[in-house]
Structure 1
Amino acid sequence: MAAPVRLLVVCLGNICRSPMGEGVLRARIEASPLRGRVLVDSAGTGDWHVGQPPDHRAIATAARHGVDIGHLRARQFRRLDAETFDWLLCADRDNLADVRARIDPALHQRATLLLEWSGVGEGDEVPDPYTGGTHEFEHSWSLLERAADGVVARLLASQGQWR
């Protein structure tokens, strides 16, 4: 069996978008033929929340959709992540620019926008819900759900390349 595909979801603080993205991606992958063949993690470009659980609103949003992310803990993106993960799936353009600024230019092709890579929309971003309320978290969640479905479809379509 081939090595698993490794995906890293990246946002700013790793307490809202990226842990929600990690949670929904894991749930979709576990419910698909990709189970056990894809590893998912998340990180933030900033270090403010390292070691902390996701924002309570992110935990509540995920829980409303049947996904538990309360056990996750924030960590900061590291240069080594670009060598460890096959894809660095960034929530927005600022995250993408920060990631690319920290990694070897030869690995820039591994860093991309999550929504674009998943087929949701070219150049589209997951807005940061941190300063908002339930509506903003639900909006981000809905985009992350669509992205997760797109990621699963993309990986299933290309699985012959990594068998």
Structure 2
Amino acid sequence: MGNKKSVLFVCLGNICRSPSAHGVFEDMVAQAGLSGLVSVDSAGTAAYHIGKSPDQRSSAAAANRGYDLSSLRARQVSASDFEAFDYILAMDNENLANLQAIAPQDYDGHLGLLLDFAQCVESEVPDPYYGGESGFEHVLDLVENASMGLLVDIQKKLMA
């Protein structure tokens, strides 16, 4: 096995999409027996909710699928994250652009969209914050899909 890998999921406020991705992917990593080799975190590009728990609707939707988000707290992405993470994955193009604006020119990790790893027609994970319950379920569907592809990508790199 190769070096350890680290993944940071990023959305706007770090209370809906990125903590959902964090919880789902961390669970998949554990089920694959890779918890000691893959670290997972999440952050937001904005400072709106620093220190807050994930949105109750995100937590409830995740819990219905067996994912526990209760230990997660919102934080804002920082320049030091580019030194700490091999994969920095944004939920949408706006947050990706915000990340690209603060990324050091020599960052050699993977900076892109989470859904680049998914088998679906959508390219962005939509923000469910102002919508109904179905939006949170849709986020989980997309995140689970992309997380499987991401896990395969990381497993290949760990085996190299």
Q: How many residues align?
A: 160
Change (3 A) 1:153 1:127: same
Query: Aligned ranges for residues 138-153 of structure 1 at < 5 Å?
Result: 138-153=137-152
Alignment match, 1:75: 75
Query: How far apart, in 2, do the equivalents of 1:8 and 1:86 lie?
Result: 8
Distance in 2 of aligned mates of 1:137 and 1:160: 34
One-letter amino acid of the structure 2 residue matched with residue 133 of structure 1? G
Change over 3 Å in CA distance of 1:114–1:45 after alignment to 2: same
After the TM superposition, list the runs of 4 or more consecutive aligned residues in structure 1 that deviate by more than 6 angstroms.
none
Structure 1 range deviating more: 151-160 or 126-135: 151-160
- Corresponding residue of 1:160: 159
TM-score scaled to structure 1, two decimals?
Answer: 0.92
SS of the residue corresponding to residue 66 of structure 2 reads: coil
How far residue 83 of structure 1 moved from its aligned partner, in angstroms, is 1.0
Query: What aligned pairs does 1:47-58 form with structure 2 within 5 A after superposition?
Result: 47-58=47-58
TM-score (norm 2): 0.93
Distance in 2 between residues matched to 1:9 and 1:33, nearest whole Å: 20
Which structure 2 segments of 5+ residues have no match?
A: none
8 Å CA contact 1:82–1:107 kept in 2: the answer is: yes
Offset from partner CA, 1:80-100 (integer Å, 9 cap, x none): 101110010110001100001
Q: Which residues in structure 2 correspond to 1:94-105 (within 5 Å)? A: 94-105=94-105
Following superposition, the deviation at residue 35 of structure 1 comes to 3.0
Corresponding residue for residue 36 of structure 1: 36
CA distance in 1, matches of 2:104, 2:120: 27
SS in 1 for 2:141: helix
Shift of 1:70: 1.4
Give 1:129 deviation, angstroms: 0.5
Matched, 1:125 2:138: no
Which amino acid is 2:128 matched to? P
Give the 3-state SS of the residue equivalent to 1:107 in structure 2: coil
Contiguous gaps of at least 5 residues in structure 1: none
Rounded to whole Å, the distance in 2 between the matches of 1:109 and 1:158 is: 12
Q: Distance in 2 between matches of 1:35 and 1:45?
A: 26
Shift of residue 107 of structure 1? 1.7
The root-mean-square deviation of aligned C-alpha atoms, in Å, is: 1.7
Q: Structure 1 residue 123: deviation in Å?
A: 7.1
**In structure 1, the residue corresponding to 2:106 is in which secondary structure?**
helix
